[in-house]
Amino acid sequence: MAHLLVIGGTGMLQAAVLNWNEEGHEVTMIARTKESLLRVVKRAVHPDCIHMIQTDYHQLDSFQNQLENLSAPDIIVSWIHSSGKEAIQAMCDLYGTLQKPISFFHIKGSKAHDPRHNYIPKFAENIDYHEVILGFRITEDISRWLTNQEIADGVIQAVKHPQPRCIVGTVWPWSARP
Ligand SMILES: NC(=O)c1ccc[n+]([C@@H]2O[C@H](COP(=O)([O-])OP(=O)(O)OC[C@H]3O[C@@H](n4cnc5c(N)ncnc54)[C@H](OP(=O)(O)O)[C@@H]3O)[C@@H](O)[C@H]2O)c1
């Protein structure tokens, strides 16, 4: 069983966190509010295997301290907005000093399909880096953004079948985005 560290796991990734918990993995969630963290823990099948870290990834010192006090995860699933690039790099720097292999799934918005808008952190060799880009869906000529369930299902599949880049839904044709 793996230890997953999930940043931003109390929002649209909630169903993914609950799925990994149900499969018996240890999951550590990071979010700012106790309310959002507790909401997920209350729905967990194995509440003893789900851990909460209440911190803001914009508060870099506190974010780093919390990670330093945590046993290193096997898998990181990171949904961090573009304002939190420093936190992403800080995670890569911290875990890049270890010998342990760590899979890093970087969840990104649809714009990241364009190299001009794609942020990729620097990472050491022990970090197996994967991008998961959230696109949109086109059904019967109507395009819409993904639902939370579609996002969670896509991320579960991306972690189960790791590829360097996975697109949930589509980003083509870009002009058809909602
Ligand atoms: N392509 C697509 O279709 C697409 C792509 C992206 C988003 N969306 C949609 O947009 C909706 C809103 O997106 P959202 O970005 O608000 O995501 P969200 O997943 O609904 O919520 C953000 C998550 O990150 C945590 N968080 C936010 N800021 C944080 C910070 N500074 N430090 C630590 N944790 C933080 C939040 O918990 P706390 O509030 O407790 O901190 C929560 O767990 C989603 O529900 C989704 O449906 C769609």
Q: What is the pLDDT along the chain (178 residues), one digit of tens a residue?
A: 999 999 999 999 999 999 999 999 999 999 999 999 999 999 999 999 999 999 999 999 999 999 999 999 999 999 999 999 999 999 999 999 999 999 999 999 999 999 999 999 999 999 999 999 999 999 988 999 999 999 999 999 999 999 999 999 999 999 999 9
Long-range contacts of 107-114 (CB under 8 A, 24+ apart): 107/8, 107/13, 107/77, 107/78, 107/79, 107/132, 107/134, 107/155, 108/132, 108/133, 108/134, 109/82, 109/133, 109/134, 110/134, 110/135, 110/136, 110/171, 110/177, 113/167, 113/171, 113/174, 114/174
- Tell me, what's the pLDDT at 141? 81
Q: Ligand 1, atom 32: nearest CA belongs to which residue?
A: 56
- Cα-based angle 116, 109, 105 (whole degrees, multiple of 5): 100
Task: Report CA(160)–ligand 1 centroid distance (Å).
Answer: 22
Structural domain boundaries in the chain: 3-176
- Tell me, what's the pLDDT at 50? 98
CATH number of 3-176: 3.40.50.720
Task: Report CA(70)–ligand 1 centroid distance (Å).
Answer: 23
Nearest ligand 1 atom to the CA of 57 is 32
Structure tokens given for 127: 């970090």
Instruction: Name residues contacting ligand 1 (CB within 6 A).
Output: 8-13, 30-33, 36, 56-58, 79, 109-110, 134-136, 145-146, 148
